[in-house]
Structure 1
């Protein structure tokens, strides 16, 4: 006798191991179907079969499920109600973000309301996921948190520091975890590997949603669903781990008693520009300010451990003696006098320092980092310095005395990751032992590369070049000399100040003679390729390349004939002015492992031909601002496609005549 058994929501491998011993397997064509929130459970059930991973619902599927729950019985007047309620139903469905559980609970709530537009609008206006009407959803979501291993709970709760719908950088979050001490220093692999395993488990449990993958196949960016984030905030507050404030209390003085950690996502009411609000934390370990109005704040705390600030915030070091993480994003400090040489003094426990997308005064470049003995990460991504000619003159005059801006930063022995903006690359120290432990260095000027003598720890580097046509050979030789000393390099980025003003210093012989030729997996090239010195061919590309980004390369011949032969390539991005021709062709068997492809701002592209059997694993395709492309390729020849993103203009052009090419794709979206 055959049997068919369904085991729903299996939470542990041990349970399956105990059950399978009782199931007869005598070639009687029986089947066992297992559903689980955990990928490792699915793999343990049958390692020879790839588990089927459910995706989040798209807009149409979300609306359909919501209406099924809102109208549990098929009354004759359902169609009449749908005509009136469809618009507000779409708004409610979108709030659930494709999460089936949220849609089911919300649909159940709507089924108890009057079937009128006003009644459903009131639900939209007043719905609070903290309310008892949504308690069923909250309780089910809470199970995912309760079941987390002890070591994952602080990592998960810490993600609530970021604003709602914020795209969280995985690397950034993991470095904050490490700075906080959530990831043990001892264990299998490196500490980065252990942090990555933590993040992978949160992904497997659907507590975060991946929005973009990196070159190594790991999650690059993620978001927390609103419901899950709300649940995390409640649990963090209840456990005195983290308190999130999103609106002002009565008055300007906010005092927190016996709160171990706090995150302030604060949008204050309208006050005078010069008002100063005192935030006094007596026992606060973590805090973040997230708000829109440009207001001055003075934060005083002796015990705060993490401080994340989002928006035009003006920061003052008020004795944060236990601070481990300081991250400020989107602030303008040009007219703020608090930035001075000693503004970071006393932060001896600081491990993560970030000024992302900020505007800083020039004097910040001479700030003292001498007291930051434990600093591991400095993140200045997207940050610029005030373009003040007087400070440039002062800096040049001071070079004989202070040879390097950020000169004290490079003396910190614990520094592992340093990220700067494209156009404000600081000079490197002349002593090679100052950077012997650095693993990530972005961005650094090409003329500074000879100072990296004997450095063998670098894994990721971004080089800003100002290479003219005549100096391509010299520039490439400097890069090769560096790569020969960095056997563990996995990511190489080269860009010029402007793709019309310089050339990428890569020659036709490429990296094939380098020790790191097989280790480089990510290559980013921003700048023109000199056609008579550098022709795109396999010799110039690393053997095991998994991600390639070209921008401003101005390639005239179809590059697909070369790129499709890269056997390990999973991500390919051809961006603005990377290809100047009119036709692209992907042949049978080409791009055997490609999963993500992005074509953007290819102004001359008119035709794209995809042969049968090309790109057999492609799941994500994005086409943007290719104005000459009048028709889509035969995407029905790529049955694996799951996500298609089109520019608005292109979507309007092909919506009718090319619909048959994309009807098999579950998610089709537009992007301006």
Structure 2
């Protein structure tokens, strides 16, 4: 039926274009031509798809075709009867959006479940929100998405927010998650950060100045603001003055569980109420359990019952799908699950909680502690995966596995939780690895309940002063206490409390090291703001991670740092590393070696002597900074970097030495960031010859000849390339260069006169991001995008992201 409907629509479109064209204006002719292409694509899909087409997809295509026919015929009739009829109803654009969404839905439905958890957003929901955001009204309008927890409000908002049409339609976009206990200053930071205008100086501004900064950044811009997870009408009173109304079709999109909140903001009626899934429930379930495969016949009936018990709630379907994707696929086990999620006389909220609990109870024991640990972070918190892994390792939650590092094992644990849909992917790094993650509110609630029950950690909103009371009142010692509060100071009474035996200390505010702090012999993880690090820190022989956030001058470490043999991560800003040749061995004939050290950053004027190299043999990530013009290059022994055979990531900031064309890097290097300094073509060839380099970032770096021409056989593994504020005028690229490049980012490359056209012929290229670039660069990139799609016809379109800041 869908194919027949498409054929009928195609005939009407051709009839309209060839015989009724006198009733169309130029823009409508172009839209008809675009629709013909979309219909042809869908016909090819139905003819050539190797997969069985679902009834839901058939119906979506059929209904869209019928609606399109009615609109087009009605439109032409109106024009024939009245020459003065308006051409501004946007009906053809709405048809185009509907078919765009069907194509997106097909693409997203065909992805494997391993690509990360997501709920199925219906085409109708997507189309409705998108149409509201781009409609002709010039006034600033609020579009509200309302629905219960777990129904997919945030997922819908994200998919619309990142849609390429929406990206192009608005000059600037910004996102802030609000949640229960919101903080206006944090909302301001979130909005400015997502607009990529947040600076370090702004962190020191008063709230009044921050409000002014945001308002001025939005003034005269057509903007889209997302306020996600709003719970209180007071929020709107606190922020509504931040958003100028320049009558330029700016929009605010809001998600909330409460209709009274949406109504209070004068949202554009009617409110968009999220509906429970019907036909889409089974599709989503099968995607999460089987990926690209179909449900076996012997499990289909039981599976349908399980889905029915989920009552159309996407979160429940995703979680139960994650559980079954990892479990044995037998009728006996599936019947057991069906019985345990029976929805008889159970509200939807209770049913979802039951499914969350079931997912937790069926986790392998080694994953339960890792999962509960995630609940220690606040609601709606963007959790850095690297930080989470450091905590798991520091707390010795991760089991050692022969031939694997603890970090690798922790990474496998993390991905297992992602595949079970208990952890949600939030942001990815330059080459696709997960950077930040989140957990759903309902899932976090379970984490906190179970953690309290197991005395794993305790969450309190009380001040630090009450910590002693919490400890004294506990019959069982609590090792982890997560304190939620707005102040950033540390109460000395806590750190001196004899009841506190900490394994992890993560202090948002400033921590003054007292003598009691360095007597916490159990401390494994230290993350705080402080201006100094006492030499007595070496007493903490169990310490694995030291993270000091600071903004002042260099920090001089004592020689005792070389005695802390358990250290894995040292992140200190502008640290001066002492010469280890003077370390006393205290009777040990072997030299003290930090064999576990994985990360060391940021070391000022780093001397890469043989003595240093042999003490950090397994370093994987290194950050170094030079600003000493008086001392010669040979003094720093930089050629010894090549002997760091496990080094994978190097950040080099150079305001004094400039890079050497005789410099050698270890072949293990996968990521290289160079800031300042200057490069010649010979230098670039050295970088291009690195056999494992996947990420290259060049910031504020001068090119001697203002021209970059790559040679054959260079950058064979490079996937991500960033050029920021680079003094380059000409960039020559051949079709054989960068054979694996996926993402290209250009920022503030004002002197670049033209875009390297042939870069569009790289088959792996997926996105080009342009920030602060000239109009000619943007236009040539978009032209290249169109040509590549026409010439290759491979279905892969390069996403062009253009921002003027």
Bin for the TM-score computed over the shorter chain: 0.5 to 0.7
Shift of 1:645: 3.0
2:574 corresponds to which residue? Answer: 422
2:416 is paired with a residue of what secondary structure? helix
Report the CA distance between 1:326 and its aligned residue: 0.8
**Would you say the 8 A contact 2:696–2:718 is kept in 1?**
yes
Aligned to 1:536: 661
Secondary structure in 1 aligned to 2:691? Answer: coil
Cα separation, 2, equivalents of 1:625 and 1:5: 46
Q: CA deviation at 1:184?
A: 2.1
Q: 1:481 to 1:185 in 2, by over 3 A?
A: closer
Structure 2 CA distance, aligned partners of 1:560 and 1:55?
39
Aligned match for 1:479, one of 609, 613, 618: 609
Contact kept, 8 Å, 1:88 with 1:120, in 2: the verdict is yes
Q: CA deviation at 1:650?
A: 1.4
CA-CA distance at 1:122 after TM superposition: 9.1
2:550 equivalent among 383, 389, 399: 383
Cα-to-partner distance string for 1:412-436 (whole Å, 9 max, x where unaligned): 5544443322145567583354899
Secondary structure in 1 matching 2:366: helix
Structure 1 partner of 2:315: 138
Q: CA deviation at 1:323?
A: 1.9
CA distance in 2, matches of 1:508, 1:610: 34
C-alpha distance in structure 2 between counterparts of 1:623 and 1:499, whole Å: 29
Cα deviation, residue 55, structure 1: 9.9
Q: Confirm or deny: 8 A CA contact 1:142 1:231 kept in the other structure.
A: no
CA contact (8 A) 1:588 1:612 kept: no
Contact 2:760/2:785 (8 A) holds in 1: yes
Give per-residue Cα distances to partners, 1:342-389, cap 9 Å, x unaligned: 2343x332211222xx243x5x5255653x353222222x335699xx
Of residues 633, 637, 651, the one that matches 1:524 is 651
Please name the residue that 1:261 is paired with.
Answer: 457
Q: Deviations over 1:107-135 (max 9, x none)?
A: 9x99x9999994558969999xxxxx998
Higher helix share: 2
The partner residue of 2:693 within 533, 547, 569 is 569
In structure 2, C-alpha distance between the alignment counterparts of 1:627 and 1:619, rounded to whole Å? 23
SS at match of 2:708: strand
1:487 Cα deviation (Å)? 5.2
Shift in CA distance, 66/656, structure 1 to aligned 2, threshold 3 Å: farther
**Pairing 1:645–2:769 present:** yes
Alignment of 1:14-93 (within 5 A): 36-38=112-114, 53=115, 66-68=125-127, 82-83=135-136, 88-89=142-143
Q: Does 1:201 align with 2:443?
A: no
2:583 matched to 1:431?
A: yes
Aligned partner (choices 363, 366, 390) of residue 175 of structure 1: 390
Provide closer, same or farther for how the CA distance between residues 430 and 176 of structure 1 changes in structure 2, counting only shifts above 3 A: same
Per-residue CA deviation, residues 292-340 of structure 1 (Å, 9 max, x unaligned), is 555665786xxxxxxxxxxxxxxx34234442111123x235xxxx642
> Residues 376 and 320 from structure 1, CA distance in 2 versus in 1: closer, same or farther, beyond 3 angstroms?
farther
Whether 1:495 and 2:625 are equivalent positions in the alignment is yes
CA offset at residue 209 of structure 1?
2.4
1:465: how far off? 5.0
Contact (CA 8 Å) 2:580, 2:611: kept in 1 or not? no
Aligned position for 1:47 = none
What CA deviation, in whole Å up to 9, does each residue of 1:578-615 have, x standing for no partner? 5354222335553221111111121x222222221221
Equivalent runs, 1:244-643 vs 2, <5 Å: 260-263=456-459, 280-281=469-470, 282-283=473-474, 284-289=478-483, 292-294=486-488, 316-329=495-508, 331-333=509-511, 339-345=513-519, 347-355=520-528, 358-360=529-531, 362=532, 365-367=534-536, 370=539, 372-380=540-548, 382-383=549-550, 411-412=563-564, 414-423=566-575, 425=577, 430-431=582-583, 433=585, 460-461=599-600, 464=603, 466=605, 479-480=609-610, 482-483=612-613, 488-496=618-626, 498=627, 510=639, 516=643, 519-527=646-654, 535-536=660-661, 540-557=664-681, 559-577=683-701, 579-587=703-711, 589-602=713-726, 604-634=727-757, 635-643=759-767
Superposition deviation, residue 570 in structure 1: 0.6
1:156 maps to 371
Q: C-alpha distance in 1, partners of 2:695/2:134?
A: 46
Structure 1 residues 160, 456: CA separation in 2 closer, same or farther (over 3 Å shift)? closer
Q: TM-score, normalised by structure 1?
A: 0.61
The Cα offsets for residues 208-247 of structure 1, whole Å up to 9 and x where unpaired, read as: 4274548xx79473232xxx332332111332359xxxxx
SS in 1 for 2:573: coil
Distance 1:607 1:55 in 2: 42
C-alpha contact 1:645 1:671 (8 A) present in aligned 2: no
Q: Which structure has the higher relative contact order (CA within 8 Å, separation 6+)?
A: 2
Residue of structure 2 equivalent to 1:221: 435
1:198 to 1:34, Cα distance in 2 relative to 1, 3 A: same
Q: Does 1:666 align with 2:799?
A: yes
Whether the 8 Å CA contact 2:117–2:425 is kept in 1: the answer is: no
List gaps (5 residues or longer) in structure 1: 9-32, 39-52, 72-77, 128-132, 243-257, 269-274, 301-315, 393-403, 437-450, 468-474
Q: Distance in 2 between matches of 1:175 and 1:569?
A: 24
User: Displacement, 1:199?
Assistant: 2.3
Q: Output the CA distance in 1 between the equivalents of 2:676 and 2:561.
A: 33
Tell me, what secondary structure is at the counterpart of 1:221? strand
Change (3 A) 1:489 1:198: same
Task: Tell me the SS of whatever aligns to 1:599.
Answer: strand
**Mapping of residues 109-124 of structure 1, within 5 Å:** 118-119=266-267
On the 8 A contact 1:620/1:643 being kept in 2, the answer is yes
Check whether the contact 1:567–1:591 (CA below 8 A) recurs between aligned residues. yes
Distance 1:434 1:418 in 2: 24
What residue ranges of structure 2 are gaps of 5+ in the alignment? 1-47, 55-108, 147-151, 163-228, 230-252, 276-309, 323-355, 787-796
- DSSP 3-state at the match of 2:745: strand
Asked whether the equivalents of residues 570 and 599 of structure 2 are also in contact (C-alpha less than 8 Å), the reply is no
**Matched-pair contact (CA < 8 Å) for 1:558–1:579:** no
Secondary structure (helix, strand or coil) at the match of 2:441 reads: helix
**Higher Cα Rg: structure 1 or 2?**
2
| Maintained 8 Å contact 1:375/1:415 | yes
Q: Deviations over 1:146-185 (max 9, x none)?
A: 1643422332342343456655443332121123332124
Instruction: Indicate how the Cα distance of structure 1 residues 232 and 180 shifts in structure 2: closer, same or farther if over 3 A, else same.
Output: farther
Kindly indicate whether the alpha-carbon contact (under 8 Å) linking 1:583 and 1:605 is maintained by their aligned counterparts in 2.
yes
Question: Once the 2 structures are TM-superposed, how far is the Cα of residue 638 of structure 1 from its aligned partner?
Answer: 2.9
Cα deviation digits, residues 440-462 of structure 1 (max 9, x gap): xxxxxxxxxxx977666655555
1:18 counterpart residue number? none
Measure, in 2, the Cα distance between the counterparts of 1:101 and 1:231: 23
Distance in structure 1 (CA, Å) of the matches to 2:725 and 2:154: 32
Distance 1:671 1:241 in 2: 48
1:238 aligns with 2:432: no
